[in-house]
Amino acid sequence: MTPTYDKINPSYYNDLGVYSAVHIIQKWGLGFCVGNALKYIQRAGKKPETNEITDLKKAVWYLTRRIYELDPENERDPTV
């Protein structure tokens, strides 16, 4: 029997047991950018279609975006 693939909760998001990325994001109130960074860090190197470097670069992009949002000294958005 072939295992089914869950498009909503694939295995690379559930490797932390009951503490999946979405639960941690919600519990800690991380918000969109930091939450996405956590998601990409958690799945880095585990998603079949992407490699670890790609996911880590995405995490850095979201963290850079959040730093820009918090820093009033920024003159331009470094993520565009």
Predicted TM-score (pTM) above 0.85 = no
User: Per-residue pLDDT tens for 27-56?
Assistant: 999 999 999 999 999 989 888 888 999 999
Q: What are phi and psi of 54, to 5 degrees?
A: -60, -50
CB neighbour burial string for 9-48, b if at least 16 within 10 angstroms, e if fewer: eeebbeeeeeebbeeebeeeebeebbbbbbbbbbbbeebe
User: Per-residue pLDDT tens for 1-35?
Assistant: 444 556 666 666 666 666 788 888 999 999 999 99
- Check residue 53 and give its pLDDT: 95
- Check residue 16 and give its pLDDT: 61
The closest of 58, 52, 54 to 38, measured between CA atoms, is: 58
- Check residue 59 and give its pLDDT: 97
